[in-house]
Each structure stands twice: as C-alpha cells, then as structure tokens.
Structure 1
C-alpha cells in the first residue's frame, strides 16, 4: 500500500477550505476541498476519501496536486479529447471553400451539402468523417444556411466600388451650377410592387419544420414610389398604379415639397427608363438626379426599406380590392416615416455622406 502523502501547504485553514467548497461552481473541486479539510482536521485518509466519493489512491493524487498548485490544482480538468481531424489551417481552408461555393464544372453540384463537403474533405485532406461531423464543423466555423440575395449576371463589382469611391466628385458634377453655399441633401429613391401575390417573410418556428404562411394568388398590384433622406430621417412617397415617367414626375414633385427650404436634393436612383434625364422627365428646381451603376441594387438602401416593410407590414396579407392594397401601402409607409431613427438606421451609408 502506498504511504500517505503529507499536506505541506498551510495557505488555508479547514474552515476556509469548507467555505471555498460551498462557493465553488465546480462540484469535483468542492469534494476535493472538503476531503483535504477533513484530513487537516485529523480524519483518516480512508474515511475522508469515502465521504468525498473517491478511493484513497485518488485522494493521494489530489493531495499531490494541492501541494504543487494549491486551489488551482483541485480544479476539474477537461479531458483533451480526440486529436483534431483537421488542423487550424485546414479548417480555415474549409471555411473559405464553403463561402466561395462549389464550381459546378468541377464539383458537379450547385450548392454544398454535408455529403458533398464530406467527399471534398476526403479528397483534399485524406480525412473521412461522418456527415454529422461536417455539420458540427460548419457550426464551429460560424456558418449557417441563409437565403442568398440574387444579383444580375452583368453586375460589375469594380464599378460599384468606383462609384462609392468617387461619389463626392460625381455629386459635385451633378450639382454643377449650384452655389457653394447651397445645403445639399442626399436622398435615395426606388419603386416597389405591392399586390395580392405578395412575398413571404421569415418567422420563428421549430427546427426542422416548415411553417405555413398565407399567400394570396391573385394579381392586382400597386407601386410605391419611395424616397428617403437618411441624414434628416424623412421620406416622401406616392402610390401609383404603374411604374412610368408620369408617376416618376409626380414623385419628384412630392420629394420637392419635403426638401428643406433653401436646400437642393441629390436623388440617387437606378437606371430605369423613367429615371433618365431628358425626355419627359420634369425635375423641380431643388432636385438633381445621380444615377447608380447598372445592376447595382446593393448600393440603394431603398431595397432594404422594401425588405423591412414587406417583412413587417406587407406579408401574409389578403386584399380583396385595389383600394385595400392602396390603404395597406399608405399605412406601411406612414409607419416607416413616423420613425426617423429607423430611416437613419436603414438608410445611412458612409460613402454617401461626403460634404460638398
């Protein structure tokens, strides 16, 4: 039988050890503290071990650790577990692979599934794991499944970056002829179709389920012509039966009434035909247009406004008449403009706050 190991540390008295055990969130450490306190009080090693739920040899090991490291030596240690299948560099490579997405010509799939990634991990790293392990790795890498945002195949990322970088110069060119003392407001403008055949929004639901949501299948529609000025937290809109130049002129006239007196509004909008200068467009004296690059809806925060209104006001609705659609559009827009902080939160873009 091994000889008993003497407790050499005198940092804590038995009463103090018991008090620390009562406060400890580590149940194992608490038992060890109590066992050592009993030994300090003269209780036999065998009785101390039994009352602490361990054998004498285990208690002897903990006494060694206590003598060497004090209270920290009694903390429960997590087992190291199995050796990681992939190194940190390989996990980083896996994350980049998932974010980039598969190449249909190479991987023969258009989206990654766990079974596809399992095969790719085996091919790249010569490591074979179950599919559920791939899922655990993806969560560990802070990845989840999200609804992709569609974009046009002719989207030019470089042109978008150039637009943001050169926004100040473009704005000055659009304001050519205005005096330097004229205050300038940055507005964003766009249109959204709202109708009986509406969109569905995300809802909370049990994992693995597919919650039902009401959707009308008829086709009566209206259009909200909307614009916001994030700096002032204001907006201007009209509701129209179509998206055309006539309705655009009505919207420009409405925006003109909301521009601060003595200021000029630079309206950033996409390249739709009814947004183009010339032709039948009628620009009020206090408005200039600044077109976005082609196929660049990401630069227009009005897209986020429409998503916000659809998710919170214009989804899962059934409208039996056109007038009901108009009423719903008006209610949703008024709800937005009654919250200037929300407009600022959704619409503010750092690149569009250049002083002129």
Structure 2
C-alpha cells in the first residue's frame, strides 16, 4: 500500500501526487477536428516525414505544476533525466508520489530513484487512470496538431513551447489532471 511506501518519511512531510507519461511529437502528426463555416473545407496540413521527439511530462494537479523534457528517444537514460527533472520541481521538504505506467524504462532496476520520489505503478493497460494522457490530447488540440514541422529542432521548439504554455495555466493543469481517487483525504 501507499502507506507502507511512505512509512519512513518524517511525520507531517507534505506529499505531492504526480502523474508521468511520454508522448511522441513529430512530423507524422495527427489531425484534429476544426471549426469551420458550413459548406467549407478548411485546409489541414499533413506531413509524411518521420522525424520525431518525445515529450516526457509529469504533472502535479493539486499544485497546478508540471515538469517536462523534450528528448530524442525513450529509454532508461532518458527516463532518469526526467526523474531528476521532476525531483527538482517537488517543493523543498516535500515528497512526491509518482504514478506511472509499466513501460520497460519505468520498471527497470537501472533507474536511480531520487530520494524525494516514491514511484507507484498503475495497472497494466489502464491509460484512463493517467491524466497525462489527457494532457497530451490538450497539447495536440491546442498547439501541436495541424502543423508541419520543418525539422527536428522545430519539433523540439514546438513541444517545449506547448509545455510552457500549459504550465503558465496552473488551473488548466488542475482541471485536466485532478482525479478524486488519487486525492481523497489529502489536504489540498
């Protein structure tokens, strides 16, 4: 249980609940619905090239904050970079419970978990439990779809810009990410 995972923390240590996931952002991007005047067909650019990057993102809905890195691929080394980045965003003196899926780079013993993070693995094949899936949808609907990226650097710039826009909206992070089942009994 979570209580057992946190038993060694000093009494009254604030606990932040974080969710983490990765998304591929790239030239072979998706199209989303678009409002248009009846009878018209707005153009939606589509790219058939394959350059891409991965946005590693984590949110703490109760605090309305996030931590992300745009990286060239997904593996243990990249996940370690992201864990270290999340650790830097946890309030000083607080401890983070990080909920994440069971991807191989999340479950390997090669990861060095920062002292201020306790990982909790979500059940297999249950993406609906991870609100970061909804964050990816929001980023795509608002800033990342219906675009053609010139090159890899443009993909990185767009991913970082979209994440910055999201983190400038703490209420949006809270709205997208809050899950009652994860916060019951927690003083917010």
- Give the TM-score of the pair, scaled to structure 1: 0.50
| Match in the other structure for 1:54 | none
| Match in the other structure for 1:200 | 31
> 2:32, 2:5 → 1: CA distance?
38
| Match in the other structure for 1:225 | 56
Matched, 1:266 2:97: yes
**For 1:194, what is the secondary structure of its paired residue?**
strand
> 2:90, 2:111 → 1: CA distance?
19
**For 1:192, what is the secondary structure of its paired residue?**
strand
Matched, 1:175 2:6: yes
Pairing of 1:91-130 with structure 2 (within 5 A):
none
Residues 166-201 of structure 1, C-alpha deviations (whole Å, 9 max, x = no match): xxxx32133232233211000000000000000111
Q: Which consecutive residues of structure 1, in runs of 5 or more, have no partner in the other structure?
A: 1-169
> 2:97, 2:4 → 1: CA distance?
11
| Match in the other structure for 1:334 | 164
> 2:171, 2:95 → 1: CA distance?
22
The structural deviation recorded for 1:212 is: 3.9
Residues 280-337 of structure 1, C-alpha deviations (whole Å, 9 max, x = no match): 1011100010110010000100000000000110011111211111111110000000
| Match in the other structure for 1:348 | 178
Matched, 1:313 2:143: yes
> 1:250, 1:355 → 2: CA distance?
31
> 1:354, 1:178 → 2: CA distance?
20
| Match in the other structure for 1:250 | 81
**For 1:271, what is the secondary structure of its paired residue?**
coil
Paired residue total: 186
Higher strand share: 2
Structure possessing the higher radius of gyration over alpha carbons: 1
| Match in the other structure for 1:236 | 67
Pairing of 1:50-61 with structure 2 (within 5 A):
none
**For 1:330, what is the secondary structure of its paired residue?**
helix
Q: Which consecutive residues of structure 2, in runs of 5 or more, have no partner in the other structure?
A: none
The structural deviation recorded for 1:354 is: 3.1
Q: Give the root-mean-square deviation of aligned CA atoms.
A: 1.5
| Match in the other structure for 2:20 | 189
> 1:349, 1:210 → 2: CA distance?
38
Residues 105-128 of structure 1, C-alpha deviations (whole Å, 9 max, x = no match): xxxxxxxxxxxxxxxxxxxxxxxx
| Match in the other structure for 1:48 | none
> 1:285, 1:355 → 2: CA distance?
24
| Match in the other structure for 1:213 | 44
> 1:238, 1:283 → 2: CA distance?
17
Distance 1:184 1:209, change over 3 A: same
